[in-house]
Amino acid sequence: MKFFIDTANVDEIRDLAATGMLDGVTTNPSLIAQSGRDFFEVLKEICDTVDGPVSGEVTALDAEGMIKEGKTVAKLADNIVVKLPLIWEGLKACSALSAEGIKTNVTLCFSATQALLAAKAGATYISPFVGRLDDIHIDGMELIEDIRTIYDNYDNLETEILVASIRNPNHVKDAALIGADVVTVPPAVLRTLAGHPLTDKGLAAFLADWEKSGQKISS
């Protein structure tokens, strides 16, 4: 499973990319606004920082406008993915951009039929938002299971499932159990994934015993 980071904060991206476990980045208009930086400038810097796909979202609401914006964004770097909202106009733009070989991420997906349409439109990625469904008491992971089943039923549906709106480590675990292709995780959640109190306790005990032994590992 691929790990993307869901942020436009370049310091966070650089820091987590140094782990060697970061496969890509997703942004959205809210995250770009939070960064306080120019859309093109920050996206370009992110693309130069990571080797993997970097999603940048269009803001036009009609297909023609989305295609125009998408083509402009796509020129930024080879690893750009054009993010489009899951509305009919976004699907039209997705078909057109995909036909030109531009990678696409169809976002704001909240139903299995929406995901089916995005795959038929040739989306590279579909982004179902699990956290926002959980927020309204609808099981977000059930949607991931449904999309996995539907995509696996048809050999011609090649869209990757990119689980978005991740709020906690269990979302990551459940997405992996279902066989989602990608998770996009906020930096704070990503940092919690390696932590366990028993790991910290065990390490402290090992190091205390080692100290008492008076030994050193030297080359």
Catalog residues that contact ligand E4P under the rule CB under 6 A: 6, 26, 28, 107, 127, 129, 131-132, 164-165, 184
Catalytic residue from among 2, 83, 173, 212: 83
Q: C-beta of 160: minimal distance to ligand E4P in Å? A: 13
Q: How far is the CB of 49 from ligand E4P (least distance, A)?
A: 18
Nearest Cα neighbor of 70 from 104, 43, 41 is 104
Q: Based on CB atoms, which residue is closest to ligand E4P, 83 or 154?
A: 83
In the complex with ligand E4P, the residue whose CB is nearer, 57 or 201, is: 57
Tell me the C-alpha distance between 205 and 43, whole Å: 44
Q: How far is 100 from 120, CA to CA, in rounded Å?
A: 15
Q: Which is nearer to ligand E4P, 36 or 197 (CB)?
A: 36
Strand boundaries in 86-173, DSSP class E: 104-109, 125-128, 160-163
Tell me, yes or no, if 201 is annotated catalytic.
no
Count the helices and strands in the chain (H runs, E runs).
11, 8
**CB burial string 158-195: b at 16+ within 10 A, e below:** ebbbbbbbbbeeebbebbeebebbbbbbbeebbeeeee
Question: Measured between alpha carbons, how far is 175 from 193 in angstroms, rounded to an integer?
Answer: 14
As measured in angstroms, the least distance from the Cβ of 204 to ligand E4P is: 34
Q: Please say whether the beta carbons of 106 and 92 come within 8 A.
A: no
The distance of closest approach from Cβ of residue 130 to ligand E4P in the complex, given in angstroms and rounded to an integer, is: 9
CA angle 163, 169, 175 (to 5 degrees): 35
Give the whole-angstrom CA distance, residue 194 versus residue 207: 19
Choose between 131 and 187: whose C-beta lies nearer to ligand E4P: 131
Which CB sits closer to ligand E4P, 123 or 214? 123
Q: How far is the CB of 184 from ligand E4P (least distance, A)?
A: 5
Active site members = 83
